[in-house]
A and B are shown apart, each in its own frame.
Chain A
Amino acid sequence: MEIKDVEALAELSKLELTEEEKKKILSDMEGILAYIKQIEEVDVPEIDTKYENHNSWREDMVREEKDFSLELIAEQFPDSKDGFVKVKKIL
């Protein structure tokens, strides 16, 4: 792994890092690789897909409980117009 890999990840994460941070993260990445190596060497069975978990669905309907404040949400849009959140041009 090299500094340019850290920079690529920073770009994906939408973060700007200092040179010092980049170096520190580079060494942390070695640590992560070591952990990954460790668990890859462990002989464990694949999780049975009939796992104890199950999906928890709800009906595709508007929430009946009006327990959130639309005003508080809309007030906090950094940029808005007519009550809608305004975003920068994407295309």
Chain B
Amino acid sequence: MTTLTKQPDPGLSARAPRKSRKRGKPSDGFRGIGDLKVALFFIAPAMVGLILFYLVPTIRGIYLSFTEYSILGDPEWIGAQNYERIAKDPLFWNALGVTAEYVLINIVLQTALALGLAILMHRVAKSTLIRGALLMPYLMANVIAALLWFWMLDYQIGIINQIIEWTGLPRVAFFGSEQWAIPTQALINTWRHMGYTALLIFAGLQAIPNSVYEAASIDGSKAVSTFWRITLPLLRPVLVLVLVVTVIGSFQVFDTVAVTTAGGPVNATRVLQFYIYQRAFNEQDFGYGSALAVILFLILAIVAFIQMKFLRGNQSDLD
């Protein structure tokens, strides 16, 4: 704006704009560079963080996946050998299956329950206290939640097995049996994340204008068909976002497994993230672990892409 105040001779007003434009050009450009500098200065902390903690480790991880590396000593280039070994590794395929089972149980239940909770929050429970209480499990650290359930579901001393025994049924080895170990952990994390997911969906519900509902009720639509024909379609962008985020999070399940079953019994809970940890940190095979991590990364990218593409997550039907 300084250029304008410096406008010379008012008598030359006709030429003044041109002049000022002429003078303005380099100064605009100059200001642009000045802005860039300032912008860079403010971007720098995030940029440095991004490069240092995301970009460099990602590239290094991809590089390491082509090496044999035990953390002590130097990585040794071995080409695609790690990937060839993974293709033939029964534990990798087992991990994929176990992880898929976990994600399926976790996501289906969690999304259905969260949707129900969100609608209840929207229609019935207007009290902030109740809405807040739904978030309580999410405020607990993952490891604490896992250990608490591990203790409550314990075969010998767990309160839930005590109750089961009182009802006359046989005790259940929730974490110890191969059939139960994954569903148990999927349910624990469903319990923990349900409230948070419901909150996201609830926000989406609030974005649907009331006029749409009014129009529906004038047309004589019942509550159930209003839900299927109005609420759900208009909620789609939010649901897609929630699904993408929760599916990615679900694929990365680790801490619950690490503090309870550690991959066992046998291989029943050796989920992909735990298998990566085991190969890299327990067995000091960081090359192999990196290759597994790259594969998980690709799987997640493909899953997210498919979800966005087919559920049209970037479009809204509200406009």
B and A form one assembly: no
